Amino acid sequence: MLAEIITIGDEILIGQIVDTNSAWMAHQLNLIGVSVKQVTSVSDDEQHILQTLADAEKRADIILITGGLGPTKDDITKKTLAKYFGMGFRRDEGAMEMVTSIFKKYNRPLLDINAQQADVPDGCEVIVNRNGTAPCMWFEENDKIFVSMPGVPYEMMYLMDDEILPRIKSRFKLPFIVHKTILTANIGESFLAKEIEDIEDALPVHIKLAYLPKLGQVRLRLSAKGDPEAILIAEVEFYAQQIMTRVRKYVVADEDIPLEKAIINIMKHEGLTLSTAESCTGGYIAHLITQHPGCSSVFWGGAVAYAYELKESILGVKQSTLDTFGAVSEETVTEMAEGAIKQFKTDYSIAVSGIAGPDGGTDDKPVGTVWIAVSSKDKTIAKVFNFSNKRTQNIERSASSALAMLLNLLKEDLHKE
């Protein structure tokens, strides 16, 4: 069973908003055994939408559409769908009741333009949107299913979870899709591929291996499709164990989690605590950690210390160190890391100080120069990195490198025990 996702809106194509809808829908469809053939973003242009619908109908069994269902003139999805299917319009009573109740709830006048939200192509089935005024519309044509949903993420998600996915599951006999993800660090994608080349070559045709690299990390995803589910799970686990045995020293986790979550899990299991001392990353490392539930048992807090004065007063960096070596130096970042452990009373710390850019560099310390230190109560490791002249990239790479360094120190300490 193949699906195609179409997102409609000029705001996506000019980069004003990021299309998170497609990624979320593709993941949910995959979980129930529906493969996404293509994801397409189109402008608010009738001919562009009509051509995209025609192309999608040739490729996929289920076409999911989001966006362009608002009450203003630039929202043309509904009219374009009516034209595509050769339908007129009707006012749907259920949709009208929902629109009326929403405006009544917020004590707002119901304008005619808002009432028109309940007007739908007369050949579609309406699925009431209980979280907004734009109804969801279900079309069936030539044994193909088209579903048009609002582009507002939480409205789309509720409709998918409560209505669309259950209907698809009950309507079709879907294959099982099983995934297994292995998170590795400190090995490049090409080197990793070489290490497991023979295992990959031995995979049966219904099991695929994907490499998903990201800033010092590579996720390996084994995917199997077929029936019965129990056999697929056993097969995927068999090959996953072969891979993990072969590259054990690089394996961080055998589940689909980011690096910082794997570190949290390790530290939580060992009863260890962590603090951060950040300068050029501006709290980004702390953000990565605190986005995960349960992090409070590991992460005690940290400092974002840009100014010399804060590095001195909060982290205990010596004024003489800053005057002699500068903020971006091995000496300063070492004192930041050791100061964080002393001040925040944690078992481990991460410290980062660098020149994120795009300006501020010098001949001996160009933009992209970043010093990172990780520290335990009896050991500190500091390392310099030379990244690019792109500020956002430098922040992300600094965070990823810092987490990888912490992981290495943790593994070293735990191995000694």
Tell me the three-class secondary structure of 349-407, residue by residue: EEEEEECCCCCCCCCCCCCCEEEEEEEECCCEEEEEEECCCCHHHHHHHHHHHHHHHHH
CATH class of the domain comprising 2-171? alpha beta
Here the tokens at position 17 are 């908003």
* Lowest mean pLDDT across 194-203, 262-271, 387-396: 387-396
Cβ(144)–Cβ(134) under 8 Å? no
Q: Which of 269, 250, 137 is nearest to 195 (CA)?
A: 250
What pLDDT score does 34 carry? 94
Please tell me the distance from the alpha carbon of residue 358 to that of residue 409, in angstroms, as a whole number. 31
Residue-wise DSSP of 45-110: -HHHHHHHHHHHHHH-SEEEEES--SSSTT--HHHHHHHHHT--EEE-HHHHHHHHHHHHHTT---
Cβ(337)–Cβ(381) under 8 Å? no
pLDDT confidence tier of residue 273, bands split at 50, 70 and 90: very high
What pLDDT score does 241 carry? 97
Residue 416 has pLDDT above 80, yes or no: no
Please tell me the distance from the alpha carbon of residue 115 to that of residue 133, in angstroms, as a whole number. 9
Residue owning tokens 């005619």 = 112
pLDDT confidence tier of residue 113, bands split at 50, 70 and 90: confident
Angle at 62 between CA 83 and CA 160, to 5 degrees: 100
What pLDDT score does 237 carry? 97
Please tell me the distance from the alpha carbon of residue 66 to that of residue 164, in angstroms, as a whole number. 13
Cβ(168)–Cβ(32) under 8 Å? yes
Please tell me the distance from the alpha carbon of residue 222 to that of residue 50, in angstroms, as a whole number. 37
What pLDDT score does 114 carry? 86
Q: Which of 290, 327, 321 is nearest to 307 (CA)?
A: 327
pLDDT confidence tier of residue 133, bands split at 50, 70 and 90: confident
Residue 67 has pLDDT above 90, yes or no: yes
Residue 361 has pLDDT above 80, yes or no: yes
CATH class of the domain comprising 259-416? alpha beta
What pLDDT score does 417 carry? 62
Here the tokens at position 286 are 């702390």
Domain with CATH 3.30.70.2860 in the chain: 176-253
SS3 annotation, 190-251: HHHHHHCHHHHHCCCCCEEEEEEEECCEEEEEEEEEECCHHHHHHHHHHHHHHHHHHCHHHE
* Lowest mean pLDDT across 16-25, 106-115, 309-318: 106-115
pLDDT digits (tens, 9 = 90+) for 116-126: 889 999 999 99
Cβ(296)–Cβ(369) under 8 Å? no
pLDDT confidence tier of residue 351, bands split at 50, 70 and 90: very high
What pLDDT score does 403 carry? 96
- Mean pLDDT score of the chain: 94
What pLDDT score does 304 carry? 97
pLDDT confidence tier of residue 215, bands split at 50, 70 and 90: confident
Domain with CATH 3.40.980.10 in the chain: 2-171
Fold of 176-253: Alpha-Beta Plaits (3.30.70)
Cβ(225)–Cβ(177) under 8 Å? yes
* Lowest mean pLDDT across 73-77, 138-142, 349-353: 73-77
Residue owning tokens 């025990």 = 417
Q: Note the pTM of the prediction, 2 decimals.
A: 0.77
pLDDT confidence tier of residue 162, bands split at 50, 70 and 90: very high
| φ, ψ dihedrals at 294, nearest 5° | 85, 0
What pLDDT score does 71 carry? 84
Domain with CATH 3.90.950.20 in the chain: 259-416
Residue 319 has pLDDT above 80, yes or no: yes
pLDDT digits (tens, 9 = 90+) for 222-268: 999 888 999 999 999 999 999 999 999 999 999 999 999 999 999 99
What pLDDT score does 259 carry? 95
